Structure 1
């Protein structure tokens, strides 16, 4: 059975040092790319670890482009029942 995760690149452990370049984007750019606020983006990064954080060479926090693209893909293709289940799971895990 094919899932939405098939074909997506695997992301190594977060908070790794990356060189400057196109592998990452700022948190503000990621939030605007996903169409959410920074609070929602922080919830995605810290509580559920769906968006991977990285530390750039100049010690700033950023997010990986791959994880943002994977989240955008999931939001576009996931059925409604999966979105509801994800919301319920995230709500339950937030306590």
Structure 2
């Protein structure tokens, strides 16, 4: 059985990448210090890039996780609030 967060993407067409470019969703959540459910929201809002590893497990690109981490560390509060509002509005 494949752990939750590592199953393949059923409704998204995503690239399949090598293991050294891929990170599991649970590991991405640990790296970013957020809950696993937030990874899905970040993917849905285009802040993380969904990819599959060579065996078809769902994950995100390491590059997008690194970019998100850098953004979170350096973005001013104003940018974070603006992003939160933009993401919330996009759900409606």
| TM bracket, shorter-chain basis | 0.7 to 0.9
Distance 1:59 1:24 in 2: 11
Match of 1:23 among 21, 24, 38: 21
- TM-score of the pair, normalised by structure 2: 0.82
Secondary structure at the aligned position of 2:88 is classed as helix
Structure 2 unaligned blocks of 5 or more? 1-12
Secondary structure at the aligned position of 2:34 is classed as coil
Residue of structure 2 in register with 1:42 after alignment: 40
Match of 2:30 among 32, 37, 40: 32
Q: Runs of 4 or more off by more than 3 Å in structure 1?
A: none
Structure 1 unaligned blocks of 5 or more? 1-13
Q: RMSD in angstroms over aligned alpha carbons?
A: 1.2
Q: Number of aligned residue pairs: give it.
A: 80
